[in-house]
A and B are shown apart, each in its own frame.
Chain A
Amino acid sequence: MSALILIELNGSEVSANSRAALTAALQLSDSVDALVLTNDSANASAAASMSGINTVKTIVDDSLEHANVEVASKLIADVMSDYKFLVSGSSTYSKNILPRVGALLDVQPISDVCKIKSSNTFVRPLYAGNVMATVETADDTIVMTVRATAFEHAEDGGSAALEALSPAMPESNSTFISLQESQSERPELTTAERIVSGGRGLGSKDNFAMIEQLADKLDAAVGASRAAVDAGFISNDYQVGQTGKVVAPKLYLAVGISGAIQHLAGMKDSQVIVVINNDPDAPMSRMADIVWQVDLFDALNELNAYQV
C-alpha cells in the first residue's frame, strides 16, 4: 500500500506543490517514496531532507531538465509497479504528465484533490469550485493531483535514503526549444502570504505598475485577472482563477477586478479579501471583508504614498 510522490523542483528547491503532495501521501500510506526526474543528481538531496519520505528515487538524464511528457510518463509508469498511489501537486508540470501516466496504467486519474476521506474516497472541485464532489475510485492503482492550498506543506527535517535508477531512456517524438521564464524578486504567487491583484480596471500596462508598487510596499506577490493578462498588462503566469493559479493567502487585495465566477474560483479561500472598485455592485464586493468604493487610481496613489 505504499505511495510515490512525484517531485517538482523550482531550480534546486522542492516546490510547495510537492510539499503538499507529501502531506497528502502520508494520509494515504505510512510508506512514502519520492521520485525526482532531473538533469542534475544534486537535486535529489533537497527532496531527501523533507520529513516523512523513506527513499528518494532519482532518474538523471540531460533530457529531463525540461520534462518531456512522453519520456516522463513512461518512466513514472514503470516505477509505479511497486506502488498503489501516485500523488503530485496540481501544477502545470503534473497536470501535463499524470493523466498520461494514468493512460499507460489504464487508470482514471483524479484531479485537484482537496480532501482525503479514505484510501479510495476523495473530495474535489467541479464547476470552478462552485460544487465539491466526493468521489470514490474503483481503480487498484490511484493517480491523483492535490491542491497545494488544501494540504499543509511538509517541512524539512528528514534524511531519506537515496536510490539512483538507471532505466533505458524511452524514445521521444518532441523536443524542447526554449523557456521564457518570468523573473521576479517578489514572493511566489501560490505561496505568498499577501497578494495584490489587478484587473481590467487598471487600463494599461503602465498603470499596472501601480499594483506592483503596492505589492512591494506590502511585501506581497502580484496577481491578475484573465482580462488583465489578455490585455497584456502582465504575463500569463500571474493569472488567478479556474484556469490559472489557485491561491489562498492571508490577504487578497483585488483592484479593478469585477469578480467573475472564474476568478473567484482561484481566490475565494483567501483569509481576508479587500476590494477596491468604483462599482458598488461588483460581485467581488459581496465576498469582501473590506470594501473601498473609490476610483482605483485615487486609492492606489493614496496607498502608495501612505507612510506605514
Chain B
Amino acid sequence: MKIIIPVKRVLDPYTQARVNKQTQQVDLSNAKMAMNPFCEIAVEEALTLKESGAATETIAVSIGTDKTVDTLRTALAMGVDRAIFIKTDSELDLQPLHVGKILANIIQREEAQLIIMGKQAVDNDNNQTGQILSGLLDYSLGTFISKFDLNSDSNSVEVSREIDSGIETRKLNLPAIVTVDLRLNEPRYASLPNIMKARSKPLETIELSSLGIDTSPRIKVVSVEESGTKDRASKQISSAEELFTELNQMGVL
C-alpha cells in the first residue's frame, strides 16, 4: 500500500501573524515558517504504518513556491521515502479546491491507496482540502481522526473521529482519505543524521503549469486586518467574596 501525505508550509503556529497594510496581506517576509502541525501528525502516522510493514512506500507532496522544498526536506528527514514538489509562482493564491485538484492528479498518477493529511492548515484555517479531495476522487473519507487502524483484510481501515458530540468510529473502504486531529500521535523530531540522509532522498519537481489545472482564483481577498486579542483593563482581586461581588455587579451570574 502506497501512502501519500500532502504537507503544507505555514507561518510557525506560535508566531503572531502581522498584516502589511500596504499590500493588504499577511506579511510573511522574514517570518518563521514551519510544517503545518497537523501535517507533522499525518507524516508520523504514515511512518508508523511503514514501520509496521503495512505500507510499501510513503510520499510527501507539497504545493507552493521554492521555499516549500524546506518543508518537504523536513518530511524526508522525519523518514518519508520520497517527495513531490509542485512548484507554483509566487503570485498564485491557491485555494483548497485548486489544491484538491492538483493532489487528485498526483494521487491518480501514483495510484496511492491511502492519503493521510492535516485536518486544517493553521494559516487559512480552511479545514476543507481533504474533504474536497475525497469528493473529486470519490474516495471514502474520515475527517478529524484520533485513532487509525488498518483492518486485517487490508482493504479497509477503522478510524475514530473527534466530533462535537464525542468520538465516532467508522470503517472506510480503501482507497480512502483521512484528515488527522491533534491527538492521533506525537510526531517525531528529525535526528541530525536523518536530516543529512534526507538530502540524498528523491525529490521530484513538477511545474504546476505542466499539469493543465485551472487555478484561476474563486475567492479574492479584498482586505485583511489584525484582530488579535485586545488587552483589557483588568482588575486584581484576592478572594472568592470579591469575585462573586464583582460578577454580580457585572450581571453575569
Query: A292 CA to B133 CA in the complex, in Å?
Result: 48
Are A250 and B252 also in contact (CB < 8 A) when A102-B128, A177-B158 are? yes
Jot down 17 A-B pairs with beta carbons below 8 A, ordered by A.
A69-B134, A69-B143, A99-B96, A99-B132, A101-B135, A125-B227, A126-B17, A126-B224, A135-B221, A137-B218, A174-B171, A230-B182, A237-B162, A243-B181, A243-B182, A294-B238, A302-B239
Nearest-neighbour CB distance to chain B for A246, whole angstroms, equals: 11
* B23 part of interface (Cβ distance < 8 Å): no
* B110 part of interface (Cβ distance < 8 Å): no
* A42 part of interface (Cβ distance < 8 Å): no
Nearest-neighbour CB distance to chain B for A154, whole angstroms, equals: 19
Top 5 A-B pairs, shortest CB-CB distance: A103-B135, A99-B131, A108-B218, A99-B128, A127-B17
Are A274 and B125 also in contact (CB < 8 A) when A100-B131, A174-B171 are? no
The reply to whether A134 and B164 contact each other, CB–CB distance below 8 Å, is no
The reply to whether B164 and A132 contact each other, CB–CB distance below 8 Å, is no
Q: A27-35, A90-98, A155-163, A197-205: which one contacts chain B?
A: A90-98
* B100 part of interface (Cβ distance < 8 Å): yes
* A19 part of interface (Cβ distance < 8 Å): no
The reply to whether B131 and A127 contact each other, CB–CB distance below 8 Å, is no
The reply to whether B222 and A134 contact each other, CB–CB distance below 8 Å, is yes
In B88-143, which residues have CB < 8 Å from any A CB?
Answer: 95-97, 100, 119-120, 122-129, 131-136, 138-143
Query: A36 CA to B168 CA in the complex, in Å?
Result: 20
The reply to whether B168 and A126 contact each other, CB–CB distance below 8 Å, is no
Write out the residue numbers on chain B whose beta carbons fall within 8 Å of the beta carbon of A132: 224-225, 227
* B152 part of interface (Cβ distance < 8 Å): no
Q: Chain A: interface secondary structure?
A: mixed
Write out the residue numbers on chain A whose beta carbons fall within 8 Å of the beta carbon of B222: 121, 133-136
Other-chain contact of B168, A138, A176, A271, A302 (Cβ < 8 Å): A176
Annotate B223-253 by CB proximity to A: 1 below 8 A, 0 otherwise.
1111111111111111111011011001011
Query: A182 CA to B162 CA in the complex, in Å?
Result: 11
Annotate A140-182 by CB proximity to B: 1 below 8 A, 0 otherwise.
0000000000000000000000000000000001111111111
A103, A106, A194, A264 pick with most chain B CB within 10 angstroms = A103
The reply to whether A103 and B237 contact each other, CB–CB distance below 8 Å, is no
Are A92 and B97 also in contact (CB < 8 A) when A66-B168, A251-B253, A272-B252 are? no
Nearest-neighbour CB distance to chain A for B196, whole angstroms, equals: 32
Which of B's residues lie within 8 Å of A, judged by CB? Answer: 11, 13-14, 16-17, 19, 26, 95-97, 100, 119-120, 122-129, 131-136, 138-144, 146, 158, 161-173, 176, 181-183, 217-241, 243-244, 246-247, 250, 252-253
Query: A121 CA to B13 CA in the complex, in Å?
Result: 27
* A262 part of interface (Cβ distance < 8 Å): yes
Query: A15 CA to B243 CA in the complex, in Å?
Result: 33
* A236 part of interface (Cβ distance < 8 Å): yes
Q: A48-56, A80-88, A281-289: which one contacts chain B?
A: A281-289
Q: Across the two chains, which residue of chain A brings its CB closest to B236?
A: A291
The reply to whether A291 and B26 contact each other, CB–CB distance below 8 Å, is no
Are A177 and B171 also in contact (CB < 8 A) when A99-B131, A226-B182, A243-B182 are? yes
The reply to whether A138 and B146 contact each other, CB–CB distance below 8 Å, is no
* A129 part of interface (Cβ distance < 8 Å): yes
Write out the residue numbers on chain B whose beta carbons fall within 8 Å of the beta carbon of A10: 165
The reply to whether A103 and B219 contact each other, CB–CB distance below 8 Å, is no
Annotate A218-243 by CB proximity to B: 1 below 8 A, 0 otherwise.
10000000100110000111000011
Nearest-neighbour CB distance to chain A for B92, whole angstroms, equals: 14
Query: A65 CA to B146 CA in the complex, in Å?
Result: 22
The reply to whether A288 and B97 contact each other, CB–CB distance below 8 Å, is no
Are A130 and B17 also in contact (CB < 8 A) when A173-B172, A287-B230, A303-B240 are? yes
Other-chain contact of A179, B136, B167, B232 (Cβ < 8 Å): B167
Write out the residue numbers on chain B whose beta carbons fall within 8 Å of the beta carbon of A237: 162-166
* A299 part of interface (Cβ distance < 8 Å): yes
The reply to whether A291 and B235 contact each other, CB–CB distance below 8 Å, is yes
